[in-house]
């Protein structure tokens, strides 16, 4: 079934009518996008509020599955772990009972203030991405007058580029909360990475402070995975250290087996020394309700941005790779 206009219009008149109809659709879409941008801003502000340093914060329980190698709890306020305790019962190291310590921060030459806990680089990067997204929306909402056709076309192209940038920010924010690598750049998205996860042997562990201090042979890393805290403990030994005759004999007869993990027999350069990982444990905390809510909102915002980009693509009659 098809519809047509009767009486039939001349070709030139029909083309003019189609162009006028497209211009009217574009003008209406640009006006409706103003409301969409306002809703996006409200959603991003709600996400920023969920990450704000507001007491009492989120207290998360840590417990290794099927064992009690790692037990404890931590409290997150904003992007900082402010308090918590960890009990480590490792096979190749003496037991450790750790508590989150306070560090000193020098604001001026004569003032030294205590800083409770330690910041999480991933959540710091997430706050930066949310602020960049808000700045992007502020720039997009003020595009000037759109009375002429040329002004409307320029405004539409500007909207399209800003929405593309905003989508890349939202995708990277979601990848941080999920603990996955950012999606590879494609033809319809741009990549402006704010946070690049460093390998554990390149991270600055001095910012993670405990009482008592961690032994030099123990490395602790805290990351975000699926809206939870992921704590990884590694016990290192120097590659220059050779196994003793007794340990070789016990290993040969099967009385002693090496602790199997995904980094077994691999060598790493840590603090200028070649080391290998003797023992490794990973424990995931209970889900952080604020991070879960933030991830849900970001997913909804990304779908809204994707819908706005698709609407612009259809009205402007562009290919997917052109927008």
pLDDT digits (tens, 9 = 90+) for 146-172: 667 777 788 888 889 999 999 999 999
CA 225 to chain centre: 9
What's the confidence (pLDDT) of residue 106? 44
> Does 22 score more than 80 pLDDT?
no
**227 domain-assigned:** no
Residue 254: pLDDT above 70? no
Cβ(209)–Cβ(101) below 8 Å:
yes
Burial class (CB in 10 A: 0-12, 13-18, 19+), 109: exposed
How is residue 47 written in tokens? 């996400």
Is residue 65 one of the residues assigned to a domain? yes
Over the chain, what is the mean pLDDT?
81
Question: Measured between alpha carbons, how far apart are the two ends of the chain, in Å?
Answer: 32
Contact 53, 82 (CB under 8 A): no
Residue with tokens 């970001």: 298
pLDDT of residue 32: 86
Model confidence pLDDT, tens digit, residues 85-143: 999 998 888 999 999 876 555 444 445 445 578 889 999 999 999 999 999 999 887 65
Where is pLDDT greater, at 196 or 300? 300
Going by DSSP bridges, is the β-strand pair 80-88/70-77 parallel, antiparallel, or unpaired?
antiparallel
- What's the total number of domains in the chain? 1
318 is a domain residue: yes
* pLDDT tens sequence across 232-251: 999 998 888 776 666 666 66
Domain residues for 128? 12-213+288-323
Identify the bridge partners of residue 229 per DSSP, sorted by sequence position. Answer: 224
Tell me whether residue 116 is in a domain. yes
CA neighbor of 120 nearest in space, from 81, 170, 89, 86: 81
Give the residue-averaged pLDDT of 75-84: 92
Residue with tokens 């790493």: 268
Task: Dig out the tokens for 138 from the structure.
Answer: 């502020």
Q: How confident is the model at residue 323 (pLDDT cuts 50, 70, 90)?
A: low
Q: Is residue 219 part of a domain?
A: no
Residues β-bridged to residue 279: 235
* Alpha carbon distance 31, 20 (integer Å): 17
Q: Tell me, yes or no, whether 2 lies in a domain.
A: no
Dist CA 181 CA 323 (whole Å): 24
Q: Using alpha carbons only, what angle is made at residue 281 by residues 126 and 66, rounded to the nearest 5 degrees?
A: 110
**What is the structure's pLDDT at 26?**
80
- Which residues lie below 8 Å from residue 223, measured CB to CB, with a gap of 6+? 120, 122, 179, 197, 229, 230, 232
pLDDT at 110: 45
**Model confidence at 144, in pLDDT bands (50, 70, 90)?**
low
The residue with tokens 């959540």 is 123
pLDDT at 103: 57
- The listed range with the strongest mean pLDDT (78-82, 268-272, 296-300) is 296-300
Is there a domain that residue 125 lies in? yes
Residue 90 lies in a domain: yes
Asked if residue 283 lies in contact with residue 62, where contact means CB atoms within 8 angstroms, the answer is yes
Q: Specify the 3-state DSSP secondary structure of 50.
A: helix
Q: What is the mean pLDDT of residues 204-232?
A: 86
């Amino acid at each position: 079934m098809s519809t047509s206009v009767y009486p039939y219009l001349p070709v030139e008149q029909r083309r003019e009518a189609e162009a006028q109809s497209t211009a009217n659709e574009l003008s209406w879409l640009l006006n409706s996008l103003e409301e969409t941008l306002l809703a996006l801003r409200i959603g991003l502000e709600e996400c920023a509020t969920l990450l704000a340093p507001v007491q009492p914060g989120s207290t998360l329980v840590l417990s290794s599955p099927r064992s009690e190698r790692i037990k404890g709890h931590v409290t997150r306020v904003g992007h900082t772990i402010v308090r918590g305790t960890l009990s480590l019962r490792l096979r190749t190291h003496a037991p450790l009972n750790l508590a989150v310590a306070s560090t000193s921060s020098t604001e001026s030459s004569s003032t030294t203030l205590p800083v409770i806990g330690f910041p999480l680089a991933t959540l710091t990067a997430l706050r930066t991405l949310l602020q960049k997204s808000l700045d992007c929306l502020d720039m997009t909402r003020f595009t000037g007058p759109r009375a002429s056709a040329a002004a409307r076309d320029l405004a539409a192209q500007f909207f399209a580029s800003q929405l593309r940038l905003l989508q890349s920010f939202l995708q990277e924010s979601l990848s941080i909360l999920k603990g996955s690598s950012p999606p590879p750049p494609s033809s319809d998205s741009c990549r402006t990475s704010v946070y690049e996860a460093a390998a554990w042997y390149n991270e600055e562990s001095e910012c993670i402070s405990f009482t008592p201090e961690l032994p030099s042979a123990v490395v602790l890393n805290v990351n975000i995975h699926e809206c939870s805290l992921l704590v990884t403990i590694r016990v290192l030994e120097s590659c220059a250290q050779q196994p003793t005759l007794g340990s070789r004999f016990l290993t040969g007869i099967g009385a002693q087996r090496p602790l199997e993990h995904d980094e077994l027999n691999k060598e790493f350069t840590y603090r200028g020394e070649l080391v290998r990982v003797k023992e490794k444990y990973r424990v995931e905390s209970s889900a952080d309700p604020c991070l879960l809510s933030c991830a849900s909102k970001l997913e909804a915002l990304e779908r809204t941005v994707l819908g706005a980009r698709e609407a612009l693509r259809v009205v402007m009659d562009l290919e997917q790779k052109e927008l």
